[in-house]
Amino acid sequence: MTVTEPLINVSNLTRRFGGRTALDSVNLSMPRGAVYGLVGANGAGKTTLIKHILGLLRAESGSVRVFGLDPVADPVGVLSRIGYLSEENDLPGWMCVDELIRYSRAFYPGWDDAYAEELRQTFALDPTAKIKNLSKGQKARAGLLIALAYRPELLLLDEPSSGLDPIVRRDILGAVIRTIADEGRTVLFSSHLLEEVEQVADHVTMISMGRIVLSAPLSEIKESHRVDGRVLSLDEIFVAKAAARADNI
Amino acid sequence: MPSPAAAIAWEFRRRHRWGLIAIIGYLLVLATIRLLILGPGQQVNFATTESFALRVVVPISVTFMYFLAVFSFGLAGDLAARQSMYPARMFTLPMTTAALAGWPMLYGTAAMAALWFATRFLAVWPADVDVPIIWPALLAASLLAWTQALTWMAYPLPGLRVVVTVVWLAMIDAIVVVALNYKASEVVMLAILAPHIPIAYLAARFAVGRARRGDVPDRRSMFAWFGRIADVLPRRPDNFSSPAQAQAWFEWRRYGRSLPALVGILLPFELSMLFVFKETPVIIFETLTGVLLTPPFMATFVAATVSKSNPYANDSYGMTPFQATRPLASVSLIAAKLKVTIWSTLAAWLLVLVAVPIALRFSGSVPVVIDWAHHLDTVVGTPRAIAIALLVFAALLATTWKQLVQGLYIGMAGRDWVVKASVFVALLVLSVIVPVGHWVTTNRRMFAALWDALPWIIAVLALLKTCAAAWIALRLHDSRLLSDRTLIIGAASWAASVFALYFLLAWIFPDLIVRHYLLANVAILAIPLARLSAAPLALVWNRHR
């Protein structure tokens, strides 16, 4: 794959669950080296799109390519380059933090022990603590640690703010996302907290009822959405776009 | 929904509507036969007890078990967990604890009573059976009430719920059996059973009250030393040398120790019989047979954990995103499971191989076993005796492993409906096979006909197996899950195992005793192939939905 080639290329992706259309002809192309915010209401299709990128869902129609590869056909090739933090907080409860780190490092040749230790100390995680005994915020930090420690080319964060208190959200998440983007890596994170997205994202993709209603650099979005000289907030833009989408259906 | 009680009733009805419709349908069939075809008051002399069992006893038993699971909320919970199985979401409802415990118990009691009375009055019973009227309904309701109380209770140790519930229900059954043995009248039976429901209700109310407060006793520290010993086998490496090794460690920690632990717990109790009955060869034989069958038998229970791709969620069979996003090929995930089940099998059998000689030596039963060995030696000769002993041991070892892995393709599919349908089909087949099998063995003509057809039946089964395996191999090839080289090596290894087993069997059993083409088909059926090969396909279906 060349540097100019998109990191993620989703074309005409449609997915139905029974009678409900979760994704409707979604097209998305993400070049590397930026922070992408995927925003939408609950049930809009954010997690479904992320699961297609991870290969956890198979494209019913259309195609998904990550690093130029099909994530279903080549899960090892794709997943070994992605750091993923699930909204489900599903780390194995029986493992200690130390065991989780040692288990995870076996899968990634680029695992950085020093960085992992630095993250563990920053996140104040006790290596002997069992995952099941950690608080929700600590579990999210542990998940973030194993998603970051091998410096993945693409970091996928699905609702990363879930379970993190405001201080942790601002300090840790913001710093992590910035750091990774500065190093020329790419971050895609989904959220329905638009303020958070506004703080860290370079590029925003809005999804509503399974369709992408807006996808552009944040600065461009703000420039193009002014009312009487006032720049609309992302909240206001999103509500307007979602209402327009609902009217179209 | 006019009241909380009606809401709880609605939940039972809505959630289990298909099961309830099936039961009502069955009862309607019984009623049609009884009232419209035979006419009211008509009784029938069944030709065999099996036909009655097939029509009435099996369905009512299955329905009874189903009601036990439904009304104790057992279908959604984890039986082995310490926590109460009462749904935690209901604790926040604005209802008293008495009502939370009472309404499901009342509905369960009513359902059990209705089941018995419907069967009692709608089914056609054998003319020579004096069918009781009330006490079976009370027995069913009592068993359900105790099941509810004991499953809603929190326990200090994982798995204790299963032991306590089984022992307690068995005790109630034993009391009833003893009473029946002494030909207790209906009134006496009612007197024995009537107190159970109110006492169980009090226990259930106490259990729900505790669970509502989040009170879960914890005595796991008593066994912490056991976990530390188990951690040594195999020793945790500081760093895993490969993803496959890390995944094998993960699988071992999840369920690898279960089979050796279960066998290790049972062995002392089983082998203690050798010390008590060391002068009785029959009991020594039965004890040793029981000991040798323990690993494969316990493996059937452990298999559920091996097959479940998501052991941390009670209501989901799918993979967790954590597992699904490990950068490891689906085939490697299955390979780790197969590897760990082999370790687990070997560890369990190592315990047996160490414990049995020690028990024989110290109980003084060695001469009896040596005597049997001499008998076998005399009858078949030394080489064949050794071959038979090794074959039996290898068969037991292979059966243990097979029990652990043969259901992988179902569990790995990760679909609730696949797992439940397979359980339903297995129960259906069992409920048909047992009475039909008994009928065949007691019907000489049918038995002779089946015996004559046995080679054909085995040949057809072997053909079906090889066809299924060929289809699965094509799917594995098309999906590029396995390389051509791996597929060829796998097929060659299977064929070599079949030939080896065939030649061994053919050497042990001369052609005069068993036809060799029959032995070839037996060898084909004995060596695992189709279901095992389907496991990676099932996992891919689960992992990439």
B335 vs A: CB within 8 A: no
Whether the per-residue pLDDT at B48 is higher than 60: the answer is: no
Buried b or exposed e, range B518-545, using 16+ CB within 10 angstroms: bbbbbbbbbbbbbbbbbbbbbbbbbbbb
Rounded (5°) CA angle A96-A97-A99 = 65
A75 vs B: CB within 8 A: yes
Whole-number pLDDT of residue B265: 84
Nearest residue of A to residue B250 by CA position? A103
Whether the per-residue pLDDT at B315 is higher than 50: the answer is: no
Which is more confident, B8 or B232?
A: B8
DSSP state of B222: G
Contacts of B498 (CB under 8 A, 6+ apart): B520, B523, B524, B527
Whether the per-residue pLDDT at B52 is higher than 70: the answer is: no
Q: Do A103 and B240 touch (CB under 8 A)?
A: yes
Specify whether the CB–CB gap between B531 and B466 falls below 8 A: no
Q: Which helix (H) or strand (E) element contains residue B430? A: helix B416-442
Specify whether the CB–CB gap between B123 and B181 falls below 8 A: no
Task: Note if the bond before B357 is cis, omega within 30 degrees.
Answer: no
A86 vs B: CB within 8 A: yes
Chain A hits for B236, CB-CB cut-off 8 Å, are 99
A130 vs B: CB within 8 A: no
Q: Which of B309, B312, B325, B332 to mutate to test the interface with A (most CBs of A within 10 A)?
A: B325
Whether the per-residue pLDDT at B424 is higher than 80: the answer is: no
**At B440, which amino acid appears?**
V
Q: Do B239 and A106 touch (CB under 8 A)?
A: yes
**Percent above pLDDT 70 for chain A:** 91
Whole-number pLDDT of residue B102: 95
Nearest-angstrom CA–CA distance, A170 and A161? 9
B473: phi then psi, degrees, rounded to nearest 5: -60, -40
**Percent above pLDDT 70 for chain B:** 90
CA A161 to chain centre: 11
Average pLDDT of chain B?
A: 85
Report the range of poorest mean pLDDT among A30-39, A117-126, A218-227, B242-251: A218-227
Q: How far is B77 from chain A (nearest CA, A)?
A: 18
Q: Do B322 and A55 touch (CB under 8 A)?
A: no
Which chain B residues in 385-404 lie under 8 Å from chain A, judged by CB atoms?
Answer: none
* Confidence label for A179 from pLDDT (cuts 50, 70 and 90): low
Q: Against a cut of 0.80, is the pTM above it?
A: no
Nearest to B205 by CA among B83, B86, B65, B69: B86
Q: Do A56 and B249 touch (CB under 8 A)?
A: no
For range B286-305, the mean pLDDT: 89
| Identity of the residue in B240, B325, B545 whose CB atom sits nearest the CB atom of A58 | B545
Q: Give the HSE-up count for residue B57: Cα atoms under 13 Å, Cβ half-sphere.
A: 13
Specify whether the CB–CB gap between A207 and A180 falls below 8 A: no
Whole-number pLDDT of residue B405: 92
Q: How far is A243 from chain B (nearest CA, A)?
A: 31
Whether the per-residue pLDDT at B319 is higher than 90: the answer is: no
Tell me the pLDDT tens digit for each residue of B455-467.
899 999 999 999 9
**What separation in angstroms does the CA of B361 have from each of B274, B290, B354, B355, B368?**
10, 18, 11, 10, 11
Tell me the pLDDT tens digit for each residue of B328-375.
999 999 999 999 999 999 999 999 999 999 999 988 888 888 998 898
Q: Give the HSE-up count for residue B67: Cα atoms under 13 Å, Cβ half-sphere.
A: 30
For range B514-542, the mean pLDDT: 89
B249 vs A: CB within 8 A: yes
For range A102-109, the mean pLDDT: 93
Q: Do A93 and B312 touch (CB under 8 A)?
A: yes
Whole-number pLDDT of residue A1: 54
Whole-number pLDDT of residue B282: 87
| Identity of the residue in A84, A94, A95 whose CB atom sits nearest the CB atom of B325 | A84
Q: Do B312 and A90 touch (CB under 8 A)?
A: yes
* Confidence label for B275 from pLDDT (cuts 50, 70 and 90): confident
Q: Which of B221, B326, B328 to mutate to test the interface with A (most CBs of A within 10 A)?
A: B326
Nearest-angstrom CA–CA distance, B437 and B449? 13
Whole-number pLDDT of residue A103: 94
Report the range of poorest mean pLDDT among A5-9, A215-219, B76-80, B386-390: B76-80
For range A182-197, the mean pLDDT: 82
For range B120-141, the mean pLDDT: 83
Q: Do A56 and B325 touch (CB under 8 A)?
A: yes
Chain B hits for A103, CB-CB cut-off 8 Å, are 240, 246, 249-250
Report the range of poorest mean pLDDT among B17-21, B220-224, B283-287, B433-437: B220-224
For range A59-79, the mean pLDDT: 92
A82 vs B: CB within 8 A: yes
Whether the per-residue pLDDT at B207 is higher than 90: the answer is: yes
Whole-number pLDDT of residue B314: 45
Q: How far is B509 from chain A (nearest CA, A)?
A: 49
Whole-number pLDDT of residue A197: 82
Rounded to two decimals, the ipTM of the complex is 0.88
Tell me the pLDDT tens digit for each residue of B474-524.
999 888 888 889 899 999 999 999 999 998 888 888 776 778 888 899 999
A167 vs B: CB within 8 A: no
**How would you write A19-74 as a 3-class SS string?**
CEEEEEEEEEEECCCCEEEEECCCCCCHHHHHHHHHCCCCCCEEEEEECCECCCCC
For range B48-65, the mean pLDDT: 70
Q: Do B544 and A93 touch (CB under 8 A)?
A: no
Residue with the two structure tokens 């994530």: A71
Tell me the pLDDT tens digit for each residue of A161-178.
766 777 667 666 766 676
| Identity of the residue in A58, A90, A99 whose CB atom sits nearest the CB atom of B322 | A90
Chain B hits for A86, CB-CB cut-off 8 Å, are 321-322, 325
